[in-house]
Chains A and B, each alone.
Chain A
């Protein structure tokens, strides 16, 4: 993390017993890991768990004091494989990533570690990116828990509970020799709250001590005959051990009154929304004192059959709030109820939507419908919903876009310009900020197959005369793209172009450092150029553009790569620093320089309102947030004119685009010299004098011929 500091968060990790922690849910989990004596932590950054990775990366001295090993893993697969440390040794380990995508990447190692089983407690903290604000496919991590047999915790959003559950989850993992998935939803990660801290605990055994005393157990390795043994062990030993632990420690909770005819079973993570919905219809209060029984599944896999049976016994119907599909819990509940020969009706997706986030209104509707059918005495009366005051079309959507001054913008501007010349391209997009190219105003990109998979996504195209373009970010490149994309293209003799966006950071996930970052990093090794790696793996046609803002140069480089006679994969590295992170560094430095009276030249762009005719071609080729519109000051014109607002960072793309596209002469660049030197001032004075003479004369002439 070159440009951001998490010092204040690190301080929170140092809180001792009895002190109150205030902060976000994901940071509470971070602290809980240290309190549980974790020996090693790894993971891959991504919303909503980036914070855990970032804070640990800044907490190096604390972790060293405690003897905790922390790694910024190369990928989720690397992180999951790291859990191997807990197979033979009583080391508590935790890894974290964005799910479901990260779990996909990690699943090979996860299957292995889940098969052989663990000795030390292992926790996989998954940030479930589902619902509002999500940027990934809408799937459930639940399926992974089931197929690999890992326990899945979905805690009720309460810091106190979550912190306790982290400790319990390690114990559960140890008691059942099974890795535990600790699922946190986006809102839960960002939820603020507090709990009373405990002292951090040094791991009883450190990774160093384990490595110094190797142990080996052939039965833990996934190879015949042990692999068959593992499956039996899962069913006969680990499963019952987990059921027993969960029951004994009451990991699932009961709320509400004992009503005999109906009840609600809810995933822990949805509990607060359910309670609010009940409160709104007068069936609960701010402390969860519902007027009907609630069974809260803080453990959503496995279910505890006798707890379920006890809850359902005698009830006519039980509503299940289970977000996402397929409805695994509903299937399992029905099986349990059937096997126990209970006559309780499990009501789930028949009244609740099969797909989509269970937001407050959805839960409210589902609960109301359930009660009207099964408990009319307490059901809320049906109220007609007010007509919305506005039609949706009146409020324009705001698709995500590249930041002001983003160095990736000119790459896509150049591609758009080239498309005008050469016709449309097939573009295989990748994961990262650059994926916003598929949205307006660029509309570039046909598919996206996963992180680092841009090049692989184009590999079926063996072009005759028209090359496909693949995009890859530096994050995806190091995650796996070097081998799965570039290496694959070399080996299979592809003839496509890969554009690698090398902005110096894993930008989309928060600006973490990478192998190829240009920044110094105290605890990581950076400055490994992508070009060397690409050449090393066998690509000969590589070029690097070190200033992407040169739109015409970018366009020409793309054209060259697309039309060159040479066969084989082509790589174009578009290298300019992520502006968001650059500004984090440059802004305070500039402000300091100005304060200290040093000469500073600030650049920004503008549009002359009297030459702009309001066609907005410039906006369609750029989409920069600082390039916007404003009412046309010209009384005869109606269309709004382009306008550069004060958030402009002076990257110059708008001017370069208008140059390259031969758009219009309205853009200007203003160089503002603050704290000018005597020579600057002298030159400026001469110019001002001469130009001023001419300008005043011509202003008089203009006034004379005015209306």
Chain B
């Protein structure tokens, strides 16, 4: 919008940061740097409530002292769109915000961290609410004079410091300010707090900004069998299933062998065969491929046995140790937050016993008393560990449990529904029915809510199947079910479809 005045001598910098990321520290460093290099400098910001998880803009203007002579310059208190030379964004969406607000334009060197700090709307979605990083990256690359982007948070954390130091390093490396590297380092030293860690992160940021852009993400390597049983299943998949479904099916088979055993994985493939029978190449085998994914997920439903099994594994202990960054020599103890309810207890018993207990009011009262409260399970203590280990060992009797019987029945009904839709020529609708499995996830109330939504949608299938927009309606209903927790959107969508 504004063309640059050739006589213009000032440098304008906008910093977009989130509360706690050290945007203010970065602005202070730039002020110290400019002063020490003989510039007149002014910084300002509007923190206020934005300090609490919101985004804040810090704005800095620099003017060479010789241009100022002894007069006092009038420096602006806020960036004007199209008038910012350097934008430093502490996070990818903040870089996006800088572009959106017109700060980062074709005159701008945009220095932005590419990591994500998800906003509450993205985090709290029932499914996947994440904004598109690709769109922001593309705009940053194409709309700015220069884009220096890398994961600065990762580098900061490796250097044991905060992101502001890395951003300062990237600013130094960009050459956008007419100061040498050691001047930047001097500014950090003059700050006086955590100097060594800051300098290390500064150096890491400097080098990363200089380095070539990151390599593209590596594709997931194909899953190779490690056991004879696995090889046999892999062989069966290769022989029976169409190429697009094979990768997912191998993943599914792997999952179910680990979840239960080889026999269960074979049941999975048998079921896939039944779907394949109504699928065709004209649909690019999408039905079988989708079924391979969602069937594996449903068959590996989360029960007490599964959770206990995952919690006591050696690999999990190692993963946690790494994730919580327990220093060398520290002792790690783990506590789980478990809340088995009477219902789940009945479901892990053999089917007939489970049903009987579920039906008995006295048993329910007793169980209710025993399992009314959540348990803090100290997995690293011997007693609790072996309780969990015992529960995990119930895997061998899983096929006889009530939950197993119930889930297999649900799965068969679901597949039968999808098959009949496909057989009736409603291929897209069949696909949508298969994808409805996505609604069923989680534990306890979450699981019940998802299952209820699933049932609501499936129950409407008979009324929908004659309609031309059956597939689109199913999709709309599924999306509505994922829009809120209390089913308002779903009821509204059902009302609209019925109308």
A-side residues, CB < 8 A to B, are: 22, 47-48, 129, 131-135, 157-158, 160, 186-188, 190-193, 271-273, 275-277, 279-282, 286-288, 359-361, 364, 383, 385-386, 388-390, 392, 394-403, 433, 436, 439-441, 508, 552, 604, 606, 608, 610-611, 613-617, 619-620, 623, 625, 627-629, 635-640, 646-647, 655-656, 658-665, 667-676, 680-681, 684, 687, 690-692, 694-696, 698-699, 702-707
Q: Is the beta-carbon distance between A134 and B374 smaller than 8 angstroms? A: no
Assuming the contacts A659-B339, A671-B335, A673-B330, asked whether A186 and B445 have C-beta atoms less than 8 A apart, the reply is no
Q: Is the beta-carbon distance between B313 and A640 smaller than 8 angstroms? A: no
Q: Is the beta-carbon distance between B102 and A664 smaller than 8 angstroms? A: no
Q: List 13 A-B contacts (CB under 8 A).
A: A158-B72, A272-B76, A273-B76, A276-B80, A389-B142, A400-B50, A606-B323, A608-B310, A616-B125, A620-B124, A669-B334, A696-B314, A699-B314
Q: Does chain A have a CB within 8 A of B416?
A: no
Q: Does chain A have a CB within 8 A of B123?
A: yes
Closest to B53 in A: A401
Assuming the contacts A191-B77, A676-B330, asked whether A401 and B52 have C-beta atoms less than 8 A apart, the reply is yes
Q: Is the beta-carbon distance between B220 and A635 smaller than 8 angstroms? A: yes
- List, in ascending order, chain B residues with CB within 8 A of A433's CB: 52
Q: Is the beta-carbon distance between B46 and A132 smaller than 8 angstroms? A: yes
Q: Is the beta-carbon distance between A707 and B257 smaller than 8 angstroms? A: yes
Closest to A287 in B: B71
Q: Is the beta-carbon distance between A664 and B443 smaller than 8 angstroms? A: yes
Partner of A191 from the list B44, B329, B392 (CB cut-off 8 Å) is B44
Partner of A359 from the list B31, B78, B117 (CB cut-off 8 Å) is B78
- List, in ascending order, chain A residues with CB within 8 A of B441's CB: 613-615, 639
Partner of B54 from the list A288, A395, A398, A615 (CB cut-off 8 Å) is A398
Bound CA span A655–B311, Å: 16
Assuming the contacts A389-B143, A636-B248, A639-B128, asked whether A691 and B385 have C-beta atoms less than 8 A apart, the reply is yes
Q: Is the beta-carbon distance between A191 and B121 smaller than 8 angstroms? A: no
Of the candidate stretches B225-233, B280-288, B424-432, B472-480, the one touching chain A is: B225-233
- Residues in B101-146 with C-beta less than 8 Å from chain A: 102, 105, 117-128, 130-132, 135-136, 139, 142-143
Assuming the contacts A286-B63, A664-B446, asked whether A629 and B48 have C-beta atoms less than 8 A apart, the reply is no
Assuming the contacts A129-B48, A615-B450, asked whether A695 and B313 have C-beta atoms less than 8 A apart, the reply is yes
- List, in ascending order, chain B residues with CB within 8 A of A132's CB: 46, 57, 78
- List, in ascending order, chain A residues with CB within 8 A of B83's CB: 276, 280, 360
Closest to A632 in B: B128
Closest to A631 in B: B130
Q: Does chain A have a CB within 8 A of B254?
A: yes
Q: Is the beta-carbon distance between A398 and B123 smaller than 8 angstroms? A: no
Q: Is the beta-carbon distance between B48 and A441 smaller than 8 angstroms? A: no
Q: Is the beta-carbon distance between A440 and B96 smaller than 8 angstroms? A: no
Q: Is the beta-carbon distance between B99 and A676 smaller than 8 angstroms? A: no
The 5 closest A-B pairs by CB, nearest first: A360-B80, A659-B374, A133-B46, A707-B254, A707-B230
Bound CA span A422–B309, Å: 36
Q: Does chain A have a CB within 8 A of B412?
A: no
B144 to chain A, nearest CB (A): 9
Bound CA span A288–B77, Å: 14
- List, in ascending order, chain B residues with CB within 8 A of A400's CB: 49-50, 52-54
Q: Does chain A have a CB within 8 A of B307?
A: yes
**Which of the four size classes fits the interface of chain B?**
35 or more
Q: Is the beta-carbon distance between A670 and B320 smaller than 8 angstroms? A: yes
- Residues in B223-271 with C-beta less than 8 Å from chain A: 223, 225-227, 229-230, 233-234, 248, 250-255, 257-258, 261-262, 265
Q: Is the beta-carbon distance between A628 and B44 smaller than 8 angstroms? A: no
B38 to chain A, nearest CB (A): 14
Q: Is the beta-carbon distance between B331 and A133 smaller than 8 angstroms? A: no
B334 to chain A, nearest CB (A): 5
Partner of A639 from the list B45, B127, B296, B316 (CB cut-off 8 Å) is B127
Bound CA span A22–B446, Å: 56
Q: Is the beta-carbon distance between A676 and B124 smaller than 8 angstroms? A: no
Closest to A681 in B: B331
Q: Is the beta-carbon distance between A608 and B311 smaller than 8 angstroms? A: yes
- Residues in B296-342 with C-beta less than 8 Å from chain A: 296-297, 302, 306-307, 310-317, 320, 323-327, 329-339, 341
Partner of B254 from the list A287, A647, A673, A706 (CB cut-off 8 Å) is A706
Assuming the contacts A273-B77, A280-B2, A629-B130, asked whether A398 and B55 have C-beta atoms less than 8 A apart, the reply is yes
Q: Is the beta-carbon distance between B334 and A133 smaller than 8 angstroms? A: no
Q: Does chain A have a CB within 8 A of B189?
A: no
Closest to B80 in A: A360
Q: Is the beta-carbon distance between B48 and A47 smaller than 8 angstroms? A: yes
B488 to chain A, nearest CB (A): 13
- List, in ascending order, chain A residues with CB within 8 A of B77's CB: 157, 187-188, 191, 272-273
Q: Is the beta-carbon distance between B326 and A672 smaller than 8 angstroms? A: yes
- List, in ascending order, chain A residues with CB within 8 A of B118's CB: 628-629
B322 to chain A, nearest CB (A): 10
- List, in ascending order, chain B residues with CB within 8 A of A613's CB: 302, 441-443, 446
Q: Is the beta-carbon distance between A617 and B485 smaller than 8 angstroms? A: yes
Bound CA span A508–B102, Å: 31
- List, in ascending order, chain B residues with CB within 8 A of A396's CB: 93, 119, 121-122, 131
Q: Is the beta-carbon distance between A707 and B223 smaller than 8 angstroms? A: yes
Q: Does chain A have a CB within 8 A of B346?
A: no
Partner of B324 from the list A672, A687, A691 (CB cut-off 8 Å) is A672
Q: Is the beta-carbon distance between B121 and A628 smaller than 8 angstroms? A: no
- Max chain A Cβ within 10 angstroms of own Cβ: one of B136, B248, B325, B336: B336
A57 to chain B, nearest CB (A): 19
A445 to chain B, nearest CB (A): 15
Bound CA span A669–B378, Å: 9
- Residues in B357-398 with C-beta less than 8 Å from chain A: 374, 379-382, 385-386, 389, 392
Partner of A190 from the list B47, B125, B307 (CB cut-off 8 Å) is B47
Bound CA span A188–B50, Å: 17
Bound CA span A271–B75, Å: 10
A648 to chain B, nearest CB (A): 9
- List, in ascending order, chain B residues with CB within 8 A of A636's CB: 248, 251-252, 255, 293, 296-297
Q: Does chain A have a CB within 8 A of B86?
A: no
Other than the given A192-B31, A286-B9, A399-B119, 9 more pairs (CB < 8 A) read A361-B102, A400-B53, A636-B251, A638-B127, A668-B336, A673-B331, A691-B380, A706-B227, A707-B229
- List, in ascending order, chain B residues with CB within 8 A of A639's CB: 127-128, 438, 441
Q: Is the beta-carbon distance between A707 and B258 smaller than 8 angstroms? A: yes
Q: Does chain A have a CB within 8 A of B67?
A: yes
Partner of B46 from the list A186, A279, A288 (CB cut-off 8 Å) is A186
- List, in ascending order, chain A residues with CB within 8 A of B100's CB: 388-390, 392, 394-395
B13 to chain A, nearest CB (A): 13
B326 to chain A, nearest CB (A): 5
Bound CA span A109–B82, Å: 47
Q: Is the beta-carbon distance between A663 and B48 smaller than 8 angstroms? A: no
Q: Is the beta-carbon distance between A690 and B339 smaller than 8 angstroms? A: no
A132 to chain B, nearest CB (A): 5
- List, in ascending order, chain B residues with CB within 8 A of A385's CB: 1
Bound CA span A441–B293, Å: 31
- List, in ascending order, chain B residues with CB within 8 A of A157's CB: 77
B402 to chain A, nearest CB (A): 19
